Structure 1
């Protein structure tokens, strides 16, 4: 009996040892898989080429360069404690940061992202489910279109309008009617990515600010996969040293003719021309 008891104890110890090895192997595999998944999103470097003045009264919601001219959409409404009393659509002198022309929205509307397609400006509203449409160069409002979600960011690939609403989705709309064509979930390493905000389309990819975070994501629009991440922490820290009242990063503009990228933020004192790494 003692021999049988000893042998049984031996088998139990061997089984326990193998079980530990199995658990360790599973943990190693999990660590490997997590590391592999993390490597699917490239860290894209960013460097500042030049800085320009930016109006600290502008609660920046949208930023566009079109035919060499900078346009900006700002937020604010009677019902909101942030921004200013009125939202605006601005044509801005990039060298001075001063508005050359300003169109104010009625105080019940909180303006959001803007984009321009075929000499037509589209400006979202936050909760009012309306899109305001203007013509260039006069910035004359010509119509309103319905929006079935909240409005946060908007850009265009030259054919469709691409919209964010603070969720993990991108919405693709027909420009003339704002009819929804498709919805695309955005994922980072297989997980949904939320708080997508201001958008810009740059050479086949959608770039998105993540609200309240120092990140700009590079998104493949067909699959919704985030393939790159830009960390603007150092730029944001510089801004806070200059002006502690400055708010979050928000605003990406691409000059397709000059191949220049600009970024700024809500109530930031500076606008930056930046260069991105691979």
Structure 2
């Protein structure tokens, strides 16, 4: 036999042997039974083991996303989205670990909110708005596009730029948020964010992303930073070291909401712009459930129509006025609105 053929035969033999060892545990046919295919927040998760070969099972322990659960568990404190159930099954002096994926949906239908425009202000039509936030009564804005990305402090009533720095050309600016006199600004695909002094705009430091590979929107609740990455996930960052501690997945009663973009923290909820949809969802930060929806699409018809006009993006809450300011990419107007549940 030719040497190369001999090597191939040996390799194939090893593959078959290893496959046999890998699959031997699967010969038991043990699987996890969840009784129902879809689950909602508040449902009871009932777990059992399908045991087609009637093995003498002596013990079973379960975990839901790494946390121990009983075989009957009410899903009232879990977060939403994709989860992994793990079962460790002991039988005949052997142990087998099996898993099953499930999805948990929200148990409420989102409320619809209407809005009223109470004021309209000028906005720089060349600003590809990515982040917008008030801090101590002053409006700050982050803009995008490579070679055009900026960090700004703006007089919201006149549109005058009070302070401005340009990002290096390789960076595509994204969302921003401000906490404890520090501005946190994201960039898109470079997996890097920047921290500035809010008073001087001096860059203090930079930070790298973790499991989230892109930067889209960011907000804070005075303790934690919340970061979107263009998916249905919102990542919770430790403000001391800017590491990603965990994440929530944003779901309605029907499924996930992808393309989450600019974020704003308003009265204990996360308001998130959905990219390309000209709408905003109101999210419960404890579990990721969508509790409300605002359709801002008509606002786009109220701005100057031009070739560079793009979608709604930019949500800023003014706590003293109890109003929300919204604009869009290359919009020439900034709208102050009040919202009300329908």
TM > 0.5 fold call:
yes
**1:138 pairs with one of 193, 200, 209:** 200
Query: 3-state DSSP class of the match of 1:236?
Result: helix
RMSD of aligned Cα (Å): 1.5
Partner residue, 1:107? 169
TM-score normalised according to structure 1 size:
0.81
Shift of 1:243: 4.1
Partner residue, 2:75? none
Alignment of 1:258 onto 2:321: yes
Partner residue, 1:80? none
Shift of 1:72: 0.2
Q: Which runs of 5+ in 2 are unaligned?
A: 1-105
Q: How far apart, CA to CA, are the structure 2 residues paired with 1:134 and 1:255?
A: 21
Given that 2:260 and 2:275 are in contact with CA atoms closer than 8 Å, whether structure 1 keeps it comes out as yes
Partner residue, 1:207? 271
Matches within 5 A, 1:192-231: 192-231=256-295
Q: How far apart, CA to CA, are the structure 2 residues paired with 1:139 and 1:163?
A: 21
Q: How far apart, CA to CA, are the structure 2 residues paired with 1:173 and 1:138?
A: 24
Alignment of 1:181 onto 2:250: no
Given that 1:199 and 1:209 are in contact with CA atoms closer than 8 Å, whether structure 2 keeps it comes out as yes
Shift of 1:46: 0.8
Query: 3-state DSSP class of the match of 1:261?
Result: strand
Deviations 1:210-238 (A, max 9, x none): 00002100000111011100001211222
Given that 2:108 and 2:252 are in contact with CA atoms closer than 8 Å, whether structure 1 keeps it comes out as no
Comparing 203-212 with 175-184, which one deviates more in the overlay?
A: 175-184
Given that 1:243 and 1:269 are in contact with CA atoms closer than 8 Å, whether structure 2 keeps it comes out as no
Count, aligned residues? 234
**1:71 pairs with one of 113, 120, 140:** 140
Q: Which runs of 5+ in 1 are unaligned?
A: 1-36, 78-84
Query: 3-state DSSP class of the match of 1:102?
Result: strand
Query: 3-state DSSP class of the match of 1:188?
Result: coil
TM-score normalised according to structure 2 size:
0.66
Shift of 1:179: 1.2
Q: How far apart, CA to CA, are the structure 2 residues paired with 1:38 and 1:97?
A: 42
- Considering fraction of residues, name the structure with more helix: 1
